[in-house]
Amino acid sequence: MEDFSAKFVSQKISKTRWRPVPAAALQPPELFATGSWDNEENKISIWSVGDFGSLEDAPNGEYQGEPQLLCDIGHQGDVMDMQFFDQERIVAASSTGSVTVFRHHQNNQTLSINQRWERAHYHMNPDTHSYGGASCTGVICNNPEIVTVGEDGRINLFRADHKKAVRIIENADSSTLHAVTFLRTTEILTVNSIGQLKIWDFREQRNEPSQIFSLTGDRIPLHCVDRHPSQQHIVATGGQDGMLSIWDVRQGSMPVSLLNAHDAEMWEVHFHPSNPDHLFTCSEDGSLWHWDASMEVSEKPSFFHQGGRSTTFLSHSTNQSVISAWLNNNPTKDRMEITNLVPNQTLSVNSLDVLGPCLVCGTDAEAIYVNRHLVA
C-alpha cells in the first residue's frame, strides 16, 4: 500500500487505462486515461504521472508521483468501457449505446471528439417500433478494427474512419454481453450474463459462435475476460461470484481451473502484458489482487523494471514454465502467491490496468491509485 499514491478525483471511476508505450521505448508509461460513471456529467480525463506534468504544478516536489490532470472532456452517459486505439486515440463505450473515438492532442493538452457511432447498440420496442439506446458494455481495439458488445446482445465490428459498421451480428447473444477481447486477428471472445464464453470468427459468414464454453449448470454471469499475451489459447475470466476461471480454448468446453477469489463481482482481469505469469484482478468487494504463478520464487527476475537488454531474454526463458503455471490441472495453490494490493478499501475497485512496472486502478470511492514500482 505504501507504494501507491492515491488521489481523490470527485468522480466515480469506471475505467482506467495506460496509454501504450511505443514498442521501441523502454521507459514506463507516463499517461493514463480515466472514465467516470454515475455522475451528472461524466468525463474522460487524461492524467500524467511522469515528471513533466508535475514540474509546473508542484515545484516543491511534494506531490511527486501523484497523478496530475492534463485535460478532460465531457462524455454522454456512463463510460462503460474504454481502450486506447493508438498513441493518440481513445475509444469509449457509453451507457447510451454510442461509441466515441476521442483524440488526445499532446501539443496543447486537449481532448476532442474524433469520430462517433451513435446508437451502435440499441433496443427496438416491438410494439411502437421505436429505438432506444442500449448500454454498450465492452470495447476492444486491434488497429484498425474496433469491436463492441452490448446489453442488446449485438456484436459490432467497426473500422476507424469508416462511418458504418463493417459487420454486425444481431442477436448474437440472448443475454447481456459483458466483455469482449481479441483471440486472434479475426476471432473474438465474448462473455455473457449466463456464464458462457463464446468464440466468434469473423471469417465465417453465419452469425453463430464457432465455439461455446460454459461453467456447468450454475449460470453464474461472467464479467470480464483476458487472453494470455503470448499463449493465445489460455484465457482468464472473472465471474459474478468473484471466481477466477482459467480456460484452455483448444480443448474441452469447461474451464481448466476454477480459483476461489473475491467475495463479489470480479470486474476486470488482466495478465501482465510482458510478464504473463502475473495476473491482476479487481472486484466489487473493494480488493485488487495480484496473482503470482511464477514457479521459482528464488529466481524471480525483475522484468517490471524494463531497463536493459536482458528483459526479452529473461521473459522468453520463463515462458516455458508458464505453460504449466496456469494450465496445471491441480491448481498450483501452494505455489501461487496472492496479495491484496489495496487493503481496507470498502467500495468497489471498478477497473485496473497494468503496463511495465506501473499499475493504475479506479474506485467507486472516487479515488485513483497508482503504483509505479510494481515489484512482483
Q: State the residues that interact with other proteins by CB under 8 A.
A: 8, 10-12, 37-40, 78, 80, 95, 123-126, 132, 134-135, 137, 151-153, 171, 173-176, 193-194, 196, 212, 214, 216-219, 221, 240, 264-265, 284, 344-348, 364-367
Cβ within 8 Å of residue 294, ≥6 positions away: 277, 278, 300, 318, 321, 325, 376
CB nearer to other proteins: pick between 15 and 372? 15
Residue type at position 69: L
Provide, rounded to whole angstroms, the least separation between the CB of residue 151 and other proteins.
6
CB nearer to other proteins: pick between 115 and 351? 351
Cβ within 8 Å of residue 316, ≥6 positions away: none
CB nearer to other proteins: pick between 145 and 151? 151
Output 201-209 pairs: Cβ under 8 A, ≥24 positions apart: 202/157, 202/167, 207/169, 207/170, 207/171, 207/172, 209/172
Measure the CA–CA gap between 47 and 255, rounded to whole angstroms: 38
Helical (H) or strand (E) element with 342? none
CB atoms within 10 A of CB 125: 9
Provide, rounded to whole angstroms, the least separation between the CB of residue 65 and other proteins.
16
Measure the CA–CA gap between 97 and 232, rounded to whole angstroms: 30
Measure the CA–CA gap between 155 and 300, rounded to whole angstroms: 41
Provide, rounded to whole angstroms, the least separation between the CB of residue 290 and other proteins.
21
CB nearer to other proteins: pick between 6 and 336? 6
Provide, rounded to whole angstroms, the least separation between the CB of residue 29 and other proteins.
26
CB nearer to other proteins: pick between 170 and 299? 170
Provide, rounded to whole angstroms, the least separation between the CB of residue 135 and other proteins.
5
CB nearer to other proteins: pick between 2 and 334? 2
Provide, rounded to whole angstroms, the least separation between the CB of residue 134 and other proteins.
7
